[in-house]
């Protein structure tokens, strides 16, 4: 299923014993970083490994690079290899929040050059709703060598700053409308958004059951948002480079490939008081 960004529960269930599939549990709560690991210990998809957003899917913070800086590629590659991931393996990522964290792993793998990765649509809530069993067993597999072929998909804060005057790309913020407007900020010390950016909350990609909406709807809405800008001239951001990946996944589902990620996002941007900020809905 190389190239398909989503997978359903039936397909995953049929491949639980497939040695060429690897499943990763990415559950996480920003307010309590231990919740995901505890949930994994209480029951996860059979054969699933656990990857922690802070410790595995992010790099060290220094106070200037955001709350979830990108991990060191060789370090992440070593962790993936330890779980048996190599070029021929199909990876599936899941969480319990509509794919917000799982999409981070989906993007990271593709950034590292591994395209055989998909997000479980509906996550573990859908798995349980379909009556499928969980396991408490931690899998044991033969380690593999994960080879990195890094892609140029990341935009720096300097590029974003330079873009304020040039408008060479369209910057889209995946946070909720209130946080984008500078209201009800609870995660970062400064409220607001990067001047000139647009708002597309990642929750708008999902239906009432936290599954992704149809591709044609997503395509129509993103194209309307871009207003003539091509996906290749779009950059996704959010609070810390996590939910922005959800918008990138939704664009991939919609057939709109080519956008890049401002990984540091708002938490990096607002760490420097010399960078301009904006508030309000637009």
Annotated catalytic residue within 26, 170, 201, 238 = 238
Burial (Cβ within 10 Å: 0-12, 13-18, ≥19) of residue 263: buried
Tell me the HSE value of 8 on the side-chain side, using a 13 A CA sphere: 3
| Element housing 164 (H / E) | helix 157-166
Which residue reads 């190389």 in tokens?
Answer: 2
What DSSP state is assigned to residue 118?
E
| Element housing 215 (H / E) | helix 215-226
Residue 213 to residue 196: CA distance in whole angstroms: 27
> Is the C-alpha dihedral spanning 270, 274, 275, 279 positive or negative?
positive
Beta carbons within 8 Å of 248's beta carbon, 6+ residues apart:
103, 107, 236, 259, 261
> What angle, rounded to 10 degrees, do the helices at 243-253 and 215-226 form?
110
Which residue reads 């060598």 in tokens?
Answer: 145
Do 269 and 260 touch, CB atoms closer than 8 A? no
Burial (Cβ within 10 Å: 0-12, 13-18, ≥19) of residue 106: buried
Tell me the HSE value of 211 on the side-chain side, using a 13 A CA sphere: 15
Which residue reads 């918008």 in tokens?
Answer: 247
Q: Catalytic: 170?
A: no
**Which residues are part of the catalytic machinery?**
238
């Amino acid at each position: 299923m190389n190239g398909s960004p989503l997978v359903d529960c039936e397909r995953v269930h049929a491949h639980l014993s497939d040695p060429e599939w690897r499943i990763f549990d990415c559950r996480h709560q920003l307010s309590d970083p231990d919740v995901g690991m505890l949930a994994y210990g209480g029951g996860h998809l059979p054969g699933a490994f656990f990857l922690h957003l802070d410790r595995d899917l992010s790099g060290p913070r220094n106070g200037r690079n955001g709350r979830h800086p990108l991990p060191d590629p060789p370090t992440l590659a070593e962790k993936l290899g330890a779980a048996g991931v190599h070029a021929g393996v199909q990876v599936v990522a899941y969480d319990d929040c509509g794919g917000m964290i799982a999409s981070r792993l989906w993007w990271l793998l593709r950034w590292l050059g591994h395209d055989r990765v998909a997000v479980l649509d509906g996550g573990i809530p859908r798995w349980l709703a379909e009556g499928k069993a969980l396991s408490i067993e931690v899998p044991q597999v033969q380690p593999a060598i994960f080879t990195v072929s890094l892609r140029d998909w990341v935009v720096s804060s300097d590029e974003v700053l330079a873009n304020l005057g040039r408008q060479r790309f369209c910057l889209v913020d995946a946070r909720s409308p209130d946080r984008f407007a500078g209201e009800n900020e609870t995660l970062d010390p400064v409220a607001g958004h990067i001047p000139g950016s647009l708002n597309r909350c990642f929750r708008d990609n999902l239906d009432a059951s936290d599954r992704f909406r149809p591709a044609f709807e997503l395509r129509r809405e993103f194209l309307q948002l871009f207003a003539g800008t091509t996906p290749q001239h779009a950059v996704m951001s959010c609070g810390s480079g996590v939910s922005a990946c959800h918008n990138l996944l939704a664009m991939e589902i919609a057939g709109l490939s080519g956008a890049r990620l401002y990984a540091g996002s708002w938490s990096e941007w607002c760490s420097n008081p010399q960078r301009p900020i904006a508030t309000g809905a637009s």
